[in-house]
Amino acid sequence: MKISELASGLLFPEGPVYMDDGSIILVEIARGTITRVAPNGRVMVVCETGGGPNGAAIGADGALYICNNGGFEFTTEADGCFRPYSQAKDYKTGRIERVNLSTGKFERVIDTVQGNSLKGPNDIVFDAFGGFYFTDLGKVRPLDMDRGAIYYCNKDGNFSKVAGPLMSPNGIALSPDGKTLYYAETEGARLWAFEILSPGVLNKLSWPSPQGAKMLCAAPGGHYQRFDSIGVDASGNICVATLHHGGITSVSPDGKICTHTPLKDQYTTNICFGGKDMKTAYITLSGSGKLIAIEDWPVAGLKLNYWA
């Protein structure tokens, strides 16, 4: 696999989205911006949302939808790794935002669902019906942390909580046939799967599953591992950005096969696919502030339901 650096100097990049013109839209969480990286490496700010823009996805209307976690405090470790460690001092709320990529204008879609204030929305995926699922990881403070949840918004704009409470739900994705919802748990480095009965309706397993999901795998590859955002390839493998262990962990749909692609950043946070034949993986190395591309990924990426 050929690895190339597309951009550097980014302030904790996340949420990469491949665009038809070959550029990558991503967020800079610590900068509070939506940013475009052109094929030639030019970095341009699309808009400044403030807070902590996190997961991103193109919706059925062609707009970019953002999970804004409300912001973090950041620190730089002795080894140079730049990372979040706590809820921002000026934090007010988490929210979902909609960005017009042509004008840079953005609007708040929602910050409360069924009476529950969104704490730290993290990642988002659209289904084939025009709706979207998103995780709310919650926020971490010096002496306590929130429990999170998964929410669904249907094509008519109606929101509901579909799973929770959950421990640190982070990345979220759909299987190629749209019948399985995956999410990655950060703190326990576990990958979970729900069967989807209908849009926004999940089949819940009985106890001892803590939230009704099936566990596909738990922390393969060593100590201190944590899971972040996820992408899915055309064969249905779940590609999990893996913290501390540094790289992408690929898990088969039955959870029996796990492989790891190591990368030189312990805060490897997200992956998307694009390029010729969908065989280029675009990966955010957040601790070092870089966007990289890996050509000839072993399996082509799954094309998402909506593109721009």
Which residues are within 8 A (CB) of 215 and not within 5 positions of it... i.e. 6 or more apart?
190, 191, 192, 193, 209, 255
The residue behind tokens 């960005």 is 99
- State the pTM of this model: 0.97
List, for residues 257-295, the tens digit of each pLDDT value: 889 999 999 999 999 999 989 999 999 999 999 999 999
Chain centre to alpha carbon of residue 225: 17
Looking at residue 96, its pLDDT comes to 98
The residue behind tokens 């995956």 is 182
- The answer on pLDDT for 224 being more than 90 is no
Going 213 to 216 to 221 to 222, the CA torsion angle's sign is positive
Report the distance separating Cα 260 and Cα 138, nearest Å.
28
Looking at residue 238, its pLDDT comes to 98
Looking at residue 62, its pLDDT comes to 97
50 pLDDT tier (thresholds 50, 70, 90): very high
The residue behind tokens 């998307």 is 272
Structure-block tokens of residue 262: 């190591």
> Cα-atom radius of gyration of the chain, to the nearest Å?
17
Residue-by-residue DSSP string for the chain:
-EEEEEE---SSEEEEEE-TTS-EEEEETTTTEEEEE-TT--EEEEEE--S-EEEEEE-TTS-EEEEE---EEEEE-TTS-EEEEEE-TT----EEEEE-TTT--EEEEESEETTEEP--EEEEEE-TTS-EEEEE---B-SS-B--EEEEEE-TTS-EEEEEEEESSEEEEEE-TTS-EEEEEETTTTEEEEEEEEETTEEE-PPTTSSSSPEEEEE-TTSTT-EEEEEEEBTT--EEEEEETTTEEEEE-TTS--EEEEE-S-TBEEEEEEESGGG-EEEEEETTTTEEEEEES-SSPBPPPS---
List, for residues 29-42, the tens digit of each pLDDT value: 999 999 999 999 99
Structure-block tokens of residue 190: 């576990």
The residue behind tokens 């989807």 is 196
List, for residues 133-176, the tens digit of each pLDDT value: 999 999 999 999 999 999 999 999 999 999 999 999 999 999 99
List, for residues 196-213, the tens digit of each pLDDT value: 999 999 999 999 999 999
Looking at residue 1, its pLDDT comes to 81
- The answer on pLDDT for 220 being more than 90 is no
Looking at residue 308, its pLDDT comes to 79
Domains of the chain and any CATH numbers: 17-224 (2.120.10.30)
Structure-block tokens of residue 267: 């805060």
**Per-residue CA distances from 13 to 67, 87, 289 (Å):** 14, 18, 6
Structure-block tokens of residue 2: 């050929």
Which of 285, 293, 227 has the alpha carbon at shortest distance from 11?
Answer: 285
Which of 298, 297, 302, 271 has the alpha carbon at shortest distance from 284?
Answer: 271
Measure CA of the first residue to CA of the last residue in the chain; give whole Å.
27
